[in-house]
Chains A and B, each alone.
Chain A
Amino acid sequence: MTTAAKLPSTESSVRSRSFDTGFDVERIRGDFPILARDIRGKKLVYLDNAATSQKPRVVLDAVSRYYEQENANIHRGVHFLSELATSEHDRARQSVKSFINAADAREIIFVRGTTEAINLVAQTYGRANVGAGDEVLVTAMEHHSNIVPWQLLCEEKGAKLRVAPINDAGELILDDFAKLLTSRTKLVAVAHVSNALGTVNPISEIIQLAHQKNIPVLVDGAQAVPHMKVDVQALDADFYTLSSHKMFGPMGIGVLYGKAQLLEAMPPYQGGGDMISSVTFEKTTYNKLPFKFEAGTPDVAGAIGFGAAIEYLNAIGVENISRYEHELLTYGTEKLGSIEGVRLIGTAKERAGVISFVIEGVHPHDVGTILDQEGIAIRTGHHCAQPIMDRFGIPATARASFAFYNTKEEVDALANGIQKVREVFA
């Protein structure tokens, strides 16, 4: 594989090639310092990537280099460091722009993460365009962050939140979704990939259906971007959101992508410095995009770290990541699905990154504690998606979520851990 050779990676003597993808996972693991540590005397098996991913050395170095060598406020001074910090911040924006193939860097708004990105759209586009009797359409598989901002908006405006149903496999029922698109629908907000089930939604079809009725679509891409190539122009998404920390960058930063035309027409989100052109007590004029939506001193180090994460992903190649993870997920699904007493929750044909499961007679919380004793980190609970739990009639699930640094051996360790759970509760 040629792409692996370009990796900003330390040399590794181990060259295990998992599956037939030629993906050098051992070499990649060497880029992530935390993966070398022990947990309770056992090797860490980190399978909680949908909650947050680990960070490669290049990201950690970029953040510390910024604070050690480049720290200054941006867009402020004429001095050397301020210019350097500003240009590094701009470069990070360009990296995000290219990564999701936005038409223009002005369409990349830095925010704290996907949650803030969705709230931004609800509080600006939503308040300006959703009125009494209107509807916002979401799906039954949304994360709370793509439910509650719309509930707040609907409550304020006397609008209604509609929910498109999912089937027993955890797939959106597209016919029902289409029927819910009416003249009252002012916005569709939908996850690209479900954080609790791993379902990959047919985003292109969803957007086409909505656009046929001139309804804009916000796509929550937090769980998609770490696993697959996303092209916002090809999708024709109106808004697309991402969180750096779920894609190997620092916490506390993310991006709202919006079509320039929509962003231009939206009122500002927060007021403050940097988002204005001029201020008098009589009248303030707002800055141009993207700064109109970036009030106050931004997380410059976060943006630079995020940019470094994207460069790292580009060096590996997102298509290579997708291919490897597909093998890993298929292997994991077969392995876990064949364990007696294990029921997989979410069996959509198209899935990414996540295996959610329950073990007969054992509460997921107990599963999590027992696996933790083996050094295996998974998430247990409702995954900030309580409506999904209600849909499947369960209080919670155990969720193993993968990144490209996970291995077949780690899936085996998880399977052995599950056997141990069954022994304790036998």
Chain B
Amino acid sequence: MPDLRDLYQEVILEHSKAPRNFHALAQANQKAEGFNPLCGDHFTVYMTTAGDSIQDIAFQGSGCAISKASASMMTQAVKGKSKAEAKELFDTFHKLVTTGESNGDREDLGKLAVFSGVSEFPVRVKCATLAWHTLQAALEGKQEKVSTE
């Protein structure tokens, strides 16, 4: 039986209560909106990119503890990274939250490894990945709102 404490780790709860980079970016040159129509979670991801580098990133919106903490920790994890590195990190993260495994790349995930418990709660995977899908859309310059459905 899955344990609630595996899902609601202290780090996750802390980020959900005090999310980092939780504001708009006036000078953002890339942004995207993500939406989960089933639960109403809604985030906007803002980025300032220069060439291939994500120089600054922030987000706004509302959602559950998992989605908000994931968005917060994502902004910390990808700030300063190249676009390719961010995409690679999303792949690793996605594998973690869907399977609980990470191909031995756990070190690359760093703090994001706390989300491994999400794999025990399949209906919450969309919460954990909403911000990441939105980031990906922003990187690809997609105009339409990203939906989990």
Contact = CB atoms under 8 A, between A and B. Distances in A.
Interface of A: 40-41, 361-366, 369-370, 373, 380-382, 386, 389, 395-396, 424-425
B13 A365 contact: no
B62 interface: yes
Interface string B24-66: 0000000000000011111000000000000000000011111
Contact of B17 (A40, A361, A381, A382): A361
Contacts of A381: 38-40
Interface in B83-97: none
B63 to A, nearest CB: 7
A386 B42 CA distance: 13
A363 B63 contact: yes
B1 A41 contact: yes
Interface of B: 1-2, 4, 7-8, 13, 17, 38-42, 62-66, 68, 121, 123-124, 127
Given A364-B39, A381-B40, 19 more contacts: A363-B64, A363-B65, A365-B39, A365-B124, A366-B65, A366-B66, A369-B7, A369-B121, A373-B4, A380-B39, A382-B39, A389-B40, A396-B39, A396-B40, A424-B4, A424-B13, A425-B8, A425-B13, A425-B65
Nearest to A362: B65
B1 A40 contact: yes
B127 A365 contact: yes
Majority SS at the chain A contact face: mixed
5 contacts: A363-B63, A365-B127, A366-B64, A366-B65, A382-B40
Contacts of A364: 39, 64
B123 to A, nearest CB: 8
A395 B41 contact: yes
List the 5 closest pairs (A to B, CB-CB), nearest first. Answer: A363-B64, A365-B64, A395-B40, A366-B65, A396-B40
A365 B123 CA distance: 10
Contacts of B8: 366, 370, 424-425
Nearest to A382: B40
A369 B40 contact: no
B42 A395 contact: yes
A416 B121 CA distance: 22
A381 B148 CA distance: 15
Contacts of B127: 365
A361 B18 CA distance: 11
B117 to A, nearest CB: 11
Nearest to B38: A381
A370 B39 contact: no
Nearest to A373: B4
B105 to A, nearest CB: 27
B21 to A, nearest CB: 19
Contacts of A395: 39-42, 62-63
Contacts of B62: 363, 395
A406 B17 CA distance: 35
A52 B38 CA distance: 17
Most buried by B among A40, A365, A386: A365
A389 B4 CA distance: 28
Nearest to A425: B13
A389 to B, nearest CB: 7
Given A361-B17, A363-B65, A370 B4 contact: yes
Given A41-B1, A361-B17, A363-B65, A369 B39 contact: no
A364 B40 CA distance: 10
Contacts of A382: 39-40
A365 B37 CA distance: 13
Contacts of B42: 395
A357 B17 CA distance: 20
Nearest to B65: A366
Most buried by A among B7, B8, B64, B123: B64
A40 B3 CA distance: 11
Contact of A369 (B1, B13, B124): B124
B99 to A, nearest CB: 19
A375 to B, nearest CB: 11
B62 to A, nearest CB: 5
A384 to B, nearest CB: 10
